[in-house]
């Protein structure tokens, strides 16, 4: 099948859709953040190199990330390709990735910025049991959390200014990359502001 790239701003629902795409295609999900943490924890040569940059508060260079990816796609479960989540972010990364694996589809889950702000800024969790709630879409029941001891927790960065800054960075980074993949006939946009099953249906339709 080849490898696929999953695109989308923070809060677009990539996690849910990634899981469904994995079930449908059998391709393993590859998140560079997860790989970095795993390599650092395992103390691999690439992991130790990455740790040096991270400890200094510097961005891990593309060469190190690509070395991690090269290692990952040698593993048995990746023989038919992988699904990249959150990578590539730049055209040089995309060009380098093409030398490691064949990208057949780039799937972009598109959601208007104002909806992303609404989704993210309304999130809360129960500090006691971890249940996830949303002010609009899934409010805390009138009789409280199922655990009986609701303790509201909200992430400090789930505020409008921070979310808009993150979205600005996302658009700035990915707009040129979207055009680059579009020129190659690989870029597919899917409306992510709908029911979850409708989004899944369209994503799998593209892959089929």
**pLDDT of 9-26, one tens digit each?**
888 988 889 999 999 999
Give the CA count within 13 Å in the CB-facing half-sphere of 153. 11
Residue 173 has pLDDT above 90, yes or no: no
As annotated, the active-site residues are 14, 89, 123, 155, 166
Q: Which two tokens stand for residue 97?
A: 């990735």
3-state secondary structure of 108: strand
3-state secondary structure of 184: coil
Mean pLDDT (whole number) for 45-49: 90
Q: What is the CATH number of domain 3-111+187-207?
A: 3.40.50.300
Residue 59 has pLDDT above 90, yes or no: no
Residue 53 has pLDDT above 80, yes or no: yes
Q: Between residues 120 and 198, which one has the greater pLDDT?
A: 198
The pLDDT assigned to 114 comes to 94
Q: What is the pTM of this model?
A: 0.82
Per-residue pLDDT band for 32 (boundaries 50, 70, 90) equals confident
The pLDDT assigned to 1 comes to 65
Give the integer Cα–Cα distance in Å for 116 and 122: 10
**pLDDT of 97-118, one tens digit each?**
999 999 999 999 999 999 999 9
């Amino acid at each position: 099948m080849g490898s696929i790239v999953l695109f989308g701003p923070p809060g677009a629902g990539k996690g849910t859709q990634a899981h469904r795409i994995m079930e449908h295609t059998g391709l393993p999900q590859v998140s560079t953040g997860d790989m970095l943490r795993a390599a650092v924890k395992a103390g691999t040569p690439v992991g130790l190199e990455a740790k040096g940059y991270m400890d200094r508060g510097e961005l891990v260079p593309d060469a190190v990330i690509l070395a991690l990816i090269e290692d990952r796609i040698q593993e048995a479960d990746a023989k038919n390709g992988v699904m990249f989540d959150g990578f590539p972010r730049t055209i040089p990364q995309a060009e380098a990735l093409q030398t490691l694996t064949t990208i057949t589809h780039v799937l972009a889950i598109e959601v208007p910025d104002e909806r992303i702000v609404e989704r993210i800024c309304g999130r809360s969790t129960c500090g006691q049991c971890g249940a996830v709630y949303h002010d609009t879409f899934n409010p805390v029941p009138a009789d409280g959390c199922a655990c009986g001891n609701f303790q509201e927790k909200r992430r400090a960065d789930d505020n409008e200014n921070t979310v808009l800054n993150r979205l600005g960075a996302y658009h700035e980074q990915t707009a040129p990359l979207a055009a680059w993949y579009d020129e190659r006939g690989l870029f597919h946009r899917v409306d992510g502001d709908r029911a979850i099953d409708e989004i899944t249906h369209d994503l799998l339709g593209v892959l089929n």
